Amino acid sequence: EDKVVQSPLSLVVHEGDTVTLNCSYEVTNFRSLLWYKQEKKAPTFLFMLTSSGIEKKSGRLSSILDKKELFSILNITATQTGDSAIYLCAVDGGTSYGKLTFGQGTILTVHP
């Protein structure tokens, strides 16, 4: 069975700090790894990673995938209070479209 583990489960930082969120996975037929941000509503898509070593960036957020070691990291630099959210890592195990296996999520709290 596919498995995704995120760490840490929660993190409290101050504005301006840099954070690194981790995601490790075990899947039978890897297709892609996705990161989502969830506030009090639907998960919002951040990144999709399919190839090792290629960093994806969007403003202060970046992510990279290591398919050999089966993990991904999400970095957020110069954090702001608006970054406070649950960050979800999910893996598409390739069994069919639409099925993602999610990690437990990392709850990030950014204090002013």
**Chain positions contacting other proteins, by CB under 8 A:** 31-32, 34, 36, 41-45, 48, 50, 88, 90, 92, 95-105
CB of 42 to other proteins, least distance (A): 4
Residue 104, CA atoms < 13 Å, CB-side half-sphere? 9
Residue 12: closest CA among 61, 71, 83, 73? 83
| Residue number with CB closer to other proteins (11 or 48) | 48
CB of 47 to other proteins, least distance (A): 9
| Residue number with CB closer to other proteins (25 or 36) | 36
Residue 67: closest CA among 33, 22, 21, 19? 33
| Residue number with CB closer to other proteins (41 or 68) | 41
